Chains A and B, each alone.
Chain A
Amino acid sequence: MPPSDLSELRAICRDLRADIIEMLCLAGSGHPGGSLSAVEIMVSLFWGALRHDPANPEWLERDRLVLSKGHGCPALYAAMARRGYFPREELWNLRKTGAMLQGHPVRSFTPGVEACTGALGQGLGVAQGMALAAKIDHAPWRVWCILGDGEIQEGSIWEAAMSAGKYRVDNLVAILDCNGGQIDGSTAEVMDLEPVLDKWRAFNWNVIDVADGHDLEALLSAIGDAIDTRGKPTLIVARTVKGKGVSFMEHPCKWHGVAPTREEADRALAEIRGGGGA
Chain B
Amino acid sequence: MPATATRAAFGKALAAIGAKCPNVVALDADLAKSTKSELFAAQFPERFFEMGIAEANMVATAAGLALAGKIPFACSFACFLTGQFAEIRISVAYSEAPVRLVGTHAGVAIGEDGHSQMGLEDIALMRTLPGMTVLQPADDIETTQMVEHLATHTDGPAYLRLTRQNVERVHADDYRWVPGRLDTLRDGGDVAIIASGGPVKAALDAAEALASEDVSARVVNCHTIKPLDADALERIARKCGRIVTVEDHTVIGGLGGAVCEALADRFPVPVRRLGIQDVFGESGSPSDLIAKHGLDAEGIAQSIRAFMKATSAV
**A and B from one complex:** yes
Q: Decide: B57 and A136 in contact? CB cutoff 8 A.
A: no
> Chain A residues in contact with chain B, CB under 8 A?
60, 64, 66, 106-108, 114-119, 121-134, 136, 143, 155-156, 159-160, 162-163, 166-167
From A107, A116, A129, B65 is in contact (CB under 8 Å) with A129
What residues of B have a CB within 8 angstroms of the CB of A126 in the complex? 60-61, 63-64, 67, 91, 95
Given known pairs A108-B96, A115-B91, the reply for A156 and B60 (CB within 8 Å) is yes
Q: Is chain B's interface secondary structure helix, strand, loop, or mixed overall?
A: helix
CA distance A115 to B97 in the complex (A): 9
Q: Decide: B57 and A163 in contact? CB cutoff 8 A.
A: yes
Verify if B270 is at the interface (C-beta below 8 Å from A). Answer: no
What residues of B have a CB within 8 angstroms of the CB of A114 in the complex? 67
Interface string of B15-32 (1 = CB under 8 A from A): 000000000010000000
What residues of B have a CB within 8 angstroms of the CB of A131 in the complex? 64
Given known pairs A116-B95, A125-B56, the reply for A136 and B47 (CB within 8 Å) is yes
Given known pairs A125-B64, A130-B65, A130-B67, the reply for A159 and B90 (CB within 8 Å) is no
Interface size on B, residues (CB 8 A): 31
Q: Is chain A's interface secondary structure helix, strand, loop, or mixed overall?
A: helix
CA distance A116 to B59 in the complex (A): 14
> Chain B residues in contact with chain A, CB under 8 A?
25, 46-47, 49, 51-52, 54, 56-57, 59-70, 72, 86-87, 89-91, 94-97
What residues of A have a CB within 8 angstroms of the CB of B94 in the complex? 106-107, 116
Query: Which residue of chain A has its CB nearest to the CB of B96?
Result: A108
What residues of A have a CB within 8 angstroms of the CB of B90 in the complex? 116-119, 122
Q: Decide: A156 and B64 in contact? CB cutoff 8 A.
A: no
What residues of B have a CB within 8 angstroms of the CB of A160 in the complex? 57, 60-61
CA distance A159 to B58 in the complex (A): 9
CA distance A133 to B23 in the complex (A): 9
Instruction: State the Cβ distance, B257 to closest chain A Cβ, in Å.
Output: 26
Given known pairs A116-B90, A118-B90, the reply for A125 and B60 (CB within 8 Å) is yes
Instruction: State the Cβ distance, A203 to closest chain B Cβ, in Å.
Output: 12
Given known pairs A122-B91, A125-B87, A163-B51, the reply for A155 and B56 (CB within 8 Å) is yes
CA distance A31 to B91 in the complex (A): 21
Q: Decide: B64 and A163 in contact? CB cutoff 8 A.
A: no
